[in-house]
Amino acid sequence: MAILCQPAVSVPDHVITMEETLALARSMHADHPQLPLALRLIGNTGVQKRHIVQPIEETLKHPGFEARNALYEAEAKARVPSVVERALDNAELRPADIDLIIYVSCTGFMMPSLTAWLINTMDFPSDTRQLPIAQLGCAAGGAAINRAHDFCSAYPEANVLIVACEFCSLCYQPTDLGVGSLLSNGLFGDAVAAAVVCGRGGTGMSLERNGSYLVPDTEDWIAYSVRATGFHFLLDKRVPTTMEPLAPALREISAQHGWDAEKLDFYIIHAGGPRILDDLSRFLHVPEEAFRFSRATLTEYGNIASAVVLDAVRRLFEEGGPGDDAHGILAGFGPGITAEMCLGSWTSSRPKGASLQSMLAPVRLPHLSATTEPWS
């Protein structure tokens, strides 16, 4: 029984408010023919503030892709370890108990992945498996949870660490002046999140079923154009309409499990923007309050890409959880257009006052061989 334990989330100290974002847009793009539209779209996001890794004066500069990627690596190495430590503490585990690290990020590039650095730096065992996911964008948070679920289904006593590291502000492109680009400049924020999926024991969302759905012929609706200056974010104006084809996918996976998507106890949904949440509420016939955790993330942090679903789960924990046996769904949406979905029930399976270490003897999984059945 794989359980998604309480996530840890950290955001940088530098803050830009909605008012500051709108003022910058007015001053920098005063002669833009579609400025009124861009201002209206930014204002409608509901994002009150965002956290960024540099002061806004530095964020607006473009020192080149090489310098930006070097900053991405430096900030990741400075910020990820403390978040990982808190996630491990939440699960009452040590680095030695982790069998797989899944690292998701779409805002910088490292090879080897940060997973290798974490293993060497934080005393994870040398046989810890690594799974970096770089090209699923905002959907990667859901994908990481699903791959952790798959791994724990294959190895029931395994523990998986998930890390999401997104510095969206390092993808700002001052020469991109389309309305979609101006909107994204007022929507995305930076954050680091981590969580453990425990094979046995723990409190949280017991993962029961997962699935993926690709909306046909939408692969160019959310994309990166990779140029000498780095990642240029492309956002099609049709993206906000994708909940109409995605809502049936959420209904279908729920029905496969014998559940009704309209009558679940909790919903963890990627907060790409307010219309995503508004439309999903309408198409699933659930009250807007059902998406309060996702909406709070959007309001306080903006769209933090793959980290959104983990932050929304954190907020569910901080509210006290929905109670044992409550049913819920988690869904991340991203390029493709792709939905990564999972169903689970809330559980408090660890005996009160007992740590997981007292319940389980240390287990190290065997190395995969050529004859080992693949877990995916």
Active site residue ranges: 138
User: For residues 263 and 285, what is the distance between their CA atoms, to the nearest angstrom?
Assistant: 9
Q: Which two tokens stand for residue 43?
A: 């204002």
Exposed (0-12), middle (13-18) or buried (19+): which is 368, by Cβ within 10 Å? exposed
User: For residues 332 and 305, what is the distance between their CA atoms, to the nearest angstrom?
Assistant: 9
Of 353, 343, 367, 351, the closest CA to residue 149 belongs to 343
Locate all alpha helices (DSSP H) within 257-367, ordered by sequence. Answer: 274-284, 292-301, 308-318, 356-359
Task: Report the SS3 class of residue 25.
Answer: helix
Of 268, 249, 256, 252, the closest CA to residue 326 belongs to 268
Residues 88 and 120: beta-carbon distance below 8 Å: no
